[in-house]
A and B are shown apart, each in its own frame.
Chain A
Amino acid sequence: MSQLAFFLDGTRCTGCKTCVFACKDIKDLEAKHAYRHVYEYTGGETLKDAQGAIASTCFTYALSVACNHCSSPICAQVCPTGAMHKSESDGLVTVDAARCIGCGYCHMACPYNAPYVDRAKGHSVKCDACADLVRAGDKPACVMACPARALRFDTMEACSARGERANTAPLPDPSYTEPNLYLKPARDARPAASSEGRVANPLEVR
């Protein structure tokens, strides 16, 4: 089977975070935890001149990001136990809770803020693309939740036919991990690793 991937239509995404909460519900996460985050990336200025006329160069867009089940997953590379591992059949990167020691290296290394150590659970946790659902022929909860139908999940081939590989700020250069997130960029989108804007909602993504 082929590598699976997320596709996000940045022209449709309105930043509502329904994907985040559908995930929190099915994964039964505590209030402060999330496997998916929606980043607001904003830059530019809105000013008034001496006559009071408003001029704006403001740009802003939302980007919904969970684990990208990278083709070159740095989380799995740094993992000492092999608990963080990539499936050979569908490319999903998941945590083997029976092996994980909860050292947090995957959390530190991941450039997509995906895994973190849930000390109560005693191991690393992250988006597994609802592997149970997917392997039973369904789609991840976040994808089926999106009111704007912006988020999709399919084979890498299908997703890459619709968008570019994670090439939008605030994401890093995709060459680090080869993420399986494909994007149709919003009109406002800036290239990956751009420093033109900033993540404007830091409280909502940590």
Chain B
Amino acid sequence: MHAHLDRRSFVKGTGALAALAAAGAGGASATALFAAGAPPACAAADSGTERVVWNHCAINCPGRCALKVYVRDDEIVRVDTYAADTDDLDDIQPRACLRGRSYRAWVYHPDRINYPLKRAAGTRRGEGKYERISWDEAIATIAENYRSVIKNYGPEAVYLNYCTGNYGVTARPWSRLLNAIGGGHLSFYGNYSLAQLMWITPYIFGSSVSAGSTLNVAEDAGLVLVFGSSPVETRQGGAVSHHDYVAMRERTKGKIYVIDPRLNDSLLGHSDEWLPINPGTDAALVAGIAYELVNNGWTDEEFLHDYCVGYDEESLPEGAKGQGLSYKDYLLGTGYDKVAKTPEWAAAITGIAAAKIRSLAKEVGTTKPLFVVQGWGSQRRSNGELTGWSICMLPILTGNIGLPGTSNGLREGSYAIALTGLPDGDNSVDAMISVFSMVDAIDRGSSMTEAADGVVGVERLPYDIKFVVNWAGNCITNQNSDINWVHDVMADEDKCQFVLGSDILMTDSLKYSDIILPDLFRLEQTSLIGTGGDGAYMIAGSEPYAPKFERKSAYDAATLIARALGKEQEFTEGRTQEEWLRHLYGLSREKDPSLPGYDTAMQQGVYTRKNPKKKTVVMEAFRSDPAANPLKTPSGKIEIYSEKLAAHIAMHTFAPDDKVTPIPTYVPEWHGVETTTKENPLALSGFHYRGRLHSSWGAVEQLKLLNPQELWINPADAQPRGICQGDTVRVTNQFGAMELLAKVTPRTVPGTVCTPQGAWHDANMAGDRVDKGGCINTLTTHRPSPFAKGNPQHTNICQVTKV
């Protein structure tokens, strides 16, 4: 904290160039190199006229809210949003959230990167010491390393890391670059948001279904179940889930249950809607409810037989018959683990009393329409694939799919404006890894196989990853798992040969770069983006000023790399970023002619469009005529038993505690409420914080102050440990230790502590490695989930002590 303040005042006092001079030539500390100068609004001067330009938020949230940027003397002096003074909740207003309204503090952050940098001689990756170099030297170094990796290994050893810090039609040129300059790169499947659910959904509903109904459909529901979701926290804008959930809650006739270990902010003021549950046990709750549905005749047998496969013996595929493999066999204890999934069985696991499960089952079984929605919290676990699938079973069993007031159990869908993006070009590399396997593929890529590691496209990876591009992402360490292990792999230069980093700010992940390129915020570039929630909108963004210092857009940086490798024409096709925008927008308008013209769009900034159907019910066509509109599953129906998954299980290897099944079952987490230990007696779960989006904005002081990094702990767990509100506590487990402040609150269930994910890792990696930033990934496992090989970042156990 003190260092930070000192740095700020130092930078303010001296300005960027002086800071550089003071830093000297050799081994300058990273902090001195990123001066941004004083925030302009403090820098006096009423001279010059004020301009207003529109732009949009571009971080990993579908909000992409409108930013009305006030510019004076080429500096941003205020960031407003798009709003009209009306009570009408149907008026689409993509109002930016608290983060969007804090852009000025971020854009002018003292750690802003202004020049190309190279890792200081004699330092290791992760130390964060850099020296300023010229663009020429940076590009030459990148090109030289790229050539050598291609020569020695090939494009399979080149990897573009997962990144979510910059979205827009032309924002992401890197895959296109790598395809243009060398024929491609090793790519990934999945993501860190919903890897498990994303993987399993095609097995349930086929590849054409990826989300549920829009939230406003729940206005017509009689009962609304929300599993592991806090819509108002995860998508905070004024025209996405935050607004849509508030509007739905106000208008629905249905009773709402939010099933979460934490009384999340979507329940503020509405605590009677909270159904507290032990984390990681949603599938057990579903099984307990389903058992009651079956025994009381509350299942929709007609729907289960006409629209689904695998519910009971009769509806199993031929090859699976006669072996007790149906979902009903699982529930009644006549198949699989041979345990009846009674409410008592579920109560012992979930912490929800059997009587409550019975009454809930009655509500689920007898209330129509039933609207079931899950967030991605339930599935970001070691049992996430089967948990996500299980949650979908409640609408499936009761036939609440494809009808007004229903959804399919997946996350809320949206009515959005779809714009054509920058084409990636052709990637000649067939191999793919799971997104969560990047560090594994650096550490031991050439031993990773399809059967054991979920490699796709080839049986075994030919090479370890040797060349990484990490742009606008903090997913090497901070947002990855098991940071201490990642550090050891990444710091070893015998493993990965070269890491190209590019970002707007020095991040923990960026400290593992060999060369760093200074990037621009999306709002510093011309841009276009389309999105939506209950209603759709598009935002056209203009530059508030020309790039400052030696910062360049990703597109311009990629162009320089392509030029150095003799592939500029292939990459640019003769277009600048703005020319691409015009070109691509033309393609978008061919598909959607009602969009305004390019110049009009740029001038008006925000374009909104109401859903002509008002509400979008998912799988409506399938429900109305399943034969004419089959799902893209092997059976064309909803699959409760998946033959395809059974085949996948047979072809892959799994650890003994990965109890994989071709139907949705409850499996205890590896590190969960059923598997706590004497050393680590508490479950530890992350959640999305209002003051950050993952790690984005995580260094902005004003947001940190009003969104302190806290560990939520129930008084029942705090008192025996002598922990009071505001105490500093240490959280430890087999992977590491972190320190943060205690929030002693009845808003989390006993036995489970929660902390907002995305705090900036702050540990002495050459010393005790205790993370003073409170980044949960110091304590998360790098073991991937069984099917998706995804990140099980809420599957943790820990001990908490007062410091």
Chain A positions within 8 Å of B, measured between CB atoms, are 10-18, 20-22, 24-26, 28, 31-32, 34, 40, 42-48, 51-62, 138-139, 141, 143-150, 152, 186-189, 200, 202-204
Contact of B272 among A25, A187, A200 (CB under 8 A): A187
The proximity string for B residues 204-235 relative to A, scoring 1 for CB distances below 8 Å and 0 otherwise, is 00000000000000000000000000001100
A47 to B701, CA, bound (A): 36
In the complex, chain A residues whose CB is within 8 Å of the CB of B263: 46, 56, 58, 60
Residues of A within 8 A of B97 (CB): 16, 18, 147
Given contacts A16-B98, A46-B746, A51-B347, contact A25 B104 (CB under 8 A): yes
Q: How far is the CA of A115 from the CA of B78 in the complex (A)?
A: 23
Interface string of B498-540 (1 = CB under 8 A from A): 0000000000000000000000000000000000000000000
With both beta carbons as reference points, the residue of chain A lying nearest to B704 in the complex is identified as A31
Let me know if B268 and A60 touch, CB within 8 A. Answer: yes
Interface centre among A43, A144, A146 (most CB of B within 10 A): A144
B101 touches A25 (CB 8 A): yes
Contacts of B425 in A (CB 8 A): none
Which residues of chain B are near A148, meaning CB under 8 Å? 232, 238, 242-243, 246
CA distance A55 to B751 in the complex (A): 13
Q: Is B41 an interface residue (CB 8 A)?
A: yes
Are the C-beta atoms of B236 and A56 separated by less than 8 Å? no
Across the interface, which residues of B come within 8 angstroms of A45, CB to CB? 715, 746
Interface membership of B95, Cβ < 8 A? yes
Whole-angstrom distance between the Cβ of A99 and the nearest chain B Cβ: 23
> In this assembly, does B407 line the interface, its C-beta being within 8 Å of a C-beta of chain A?
no
The answer to whether A204 and B750 have CB atoms under 8 Å apart is: no
Q: Which residue of A lies closest to B269 (CB)?
A: A186
Report how many A-B pairs have Cβ atoms within 8 Å.
198
In the assembled complex, the CB of A196 is this many whole angstroms from the nearest CB of chain B, namely 13
In contact, A145 and B747 (Cβ under 8 angstroms)? no
List which B689-716 residues lie within 8 A (CB) of chain A: 690-691, 701-703, 705-708, 714-716
Cβ–Cβ < 8 Å partners of A204 in chain B: 705-708
Are B726 and A188 in touch, CB under 8 angstroms?
Answer: no
In the complex, what distance in Å separates the CA atom of A47 from the CA atom of B56?
44
In the complex, are the beta carbons of B708 and A14 less than 8 A apart?
no
**A18 & B98 in contact (Cβ 8 Å cutoff):** yes
Report A-chain residues with C-beta under 8 Å of the C-beta of B148: none
Q: Contact at B250–A11, with CB atoms within 8 Å?
A: yes
B270, A46: Cβ atoms under 8 Å?
no
Closest Cβ–Cβ distance, residue A172 to chain B (whole Å): 20
Q: How far is the CB of A163 from chain B (nearest CB, A)?
A: 13
**B681 CB → nearest A CB, Å:** 13
Shortest CB-to-CB span from B637 to chain A, Å, is 37
Cβ-neighbour of A42 out of B102, B691, B741, B747 (below 8 A): B747
CA distance A139 to B85 in the complex (A): 8
Chain A residues with CB under 8 Å of B749's CB are 46, 48, 54
Contacts of B246 in A (CB 8 A): 12, 14, 148-150
- Residue of A at shortest CB range from B354? A53
What residues on B are CB-neighbors of A44 within 8 Å? Answer: 271, 746
Interface membership of B599, Cβ < 8 A: no
Contact B746 A48 (CB under 8 A): no
| Interface mask (B261-279 → A, CB under 8 Å = 1, otherwise 0) | 0010111111110101110
Cα distance A56–B83 in the bound complex, in angstroms: 38
Q: A58-B271, A187-B270 are in contact. List 20 more A-B contacts (CB 8 A).
A: A16-B97, A16-B98, A18-B96, A20-B98, A21-B101, A22-B98, A25-B104, A26-B80, A28-B42, A42-B747, A46-B746, A46-B747, A48-B749, A56-B263, A59-B271, A139-B85, A187-B269, A189-B269, A202-B725, A203-B708
Q: How far is the CB of A48 from chain B (nearest CB, A)?
A: 5
Q: Is the CB of A16 within 8 A of B347?
A: no
Q: In the assembled complex, how far is the CB of residue A134 from the closest CB belonging to chain B, in whole angstroms?
A: 11
- Distance of B591 from chain A, by nearest CB (Å): 30
The answer to whether B101 touches A54, judged by C-beta atoms less than 8 angstroms apart, is no
- Which one of A14, A146, A203 has the highest number of Cβ atoms from chain B below 10 Å of its Cβ? A14
Central interface residue in B237, B242, B271, B743, by most chain A CB within 10 Å? B271
B294 within 8 A of A: no
Per the bound structure, the CA–CA distance linking A69 and B695 in Å amounts to 38
Q: Closest A-chain residue to B355, C-beta based?
A: A53
B432 at interface, CB cutoff 8 A: no
Q: Cβ of B705 and Cβ of A31 under 8 Å apart?
A: yes
CB < 8 Å neighbour of A54 from B238, B747, B750: B750
B79 nearest in chain A by CB position: A25
Closest to A23 in B: B101
Q: In the complex, are the beta carbons of A16 and B277 less than 8 A apart?
A: no
Interface residues of B (CB under 8 A from A): 41-42, 78-81, 83, 85, 87, 89, 95-99, 101-102, 104-105, 232-233, 236-238, 242-243, 246, 250, 263, 265-272, 274, 276-278, 347-348, 351-353, 356, 690-691, 701-703, 705-708, 714-716, 725-726, 741, 743, 745-751
Quote the shortest CB–CB distance from B432 to chain A (angstroms).
37
Which B residues are CB-close (under 8 A) to A61? 268-269
Q: A32 to chain B: which residues have CB within 8 Å? A: 702, 705
A58-B747 CB under 8 A given contacts A47-B716, A52-B348, A147-B242: yes
Residues on the A chain within 8 Å of B236, using CB: 16, 18, 147
Contact B271 A60 (CB under 8 A): yes
Using known A-B contacts A16-B97, A17-B690, determine if residue A10 contacts B102 with beta carbons closer than 8 Å. no
Which of chain A's residues has its CB closest to B690's CB?
Answer: A16
Contact of A21 (CB < 8 Å), options: B87, B98, B353: B98
Complex contacts, A20 vs chain B, CB 8 Å: 98, 706
Q: Which residues does chain A contribute within 8 Å of B702, judged by CB atoms?
A: 21, 24, 31-32
- Given A186-B270, A187-B269, are A56 and B242 neighbors across the interface (CB < 8 Å)? no
Contacts of A187 in B (CB 8 A): 269-272
- Judging by beta carbons under 8 Å apart, are B243 and A15 in contact? no
21 inter-chain pairs at a CB distance below 8 angstroms, sorted by A residue, are: A14-B233, A18-B98, A24-B702, A25-B80, A34-B706, A45-B715, A46-B750, A54-B276, A58-B271, A60-B267, A60-B269, A145-B101, A147-B237, A148-B242, A186-B268, A186-B269, A187-B269, A187-B271, A200-B745, A202-B726, A204-B705
Residues on A with C-beta less than 8 A from B743 are 200
Residues of B within 8 A of A18 (CB): 95-98, 101, 236
CA distance A46 to B712 in the complex (A): 13
A12 adjacent to B746 (CB under 8 Å): no
Could you tell me if B237 and A12 are in contact, using CB atoms closer than 8 angstroms?
no
Residues of A within 8 A of B270 (CB): 11, 186-188
Q: Which of A31, A60, A150, A186 contacts B747 (CB 8 A)?
A: A60
Taking a contact as CB atoms under 8 Å apart, the answer to whether B95 and A42 are in contact is no
Given the complex, which residues of B lie within 8 Å of A139, measured CB to CB? 85
Question: Complex Cα distance A186/B267, Å?
Answer: 11
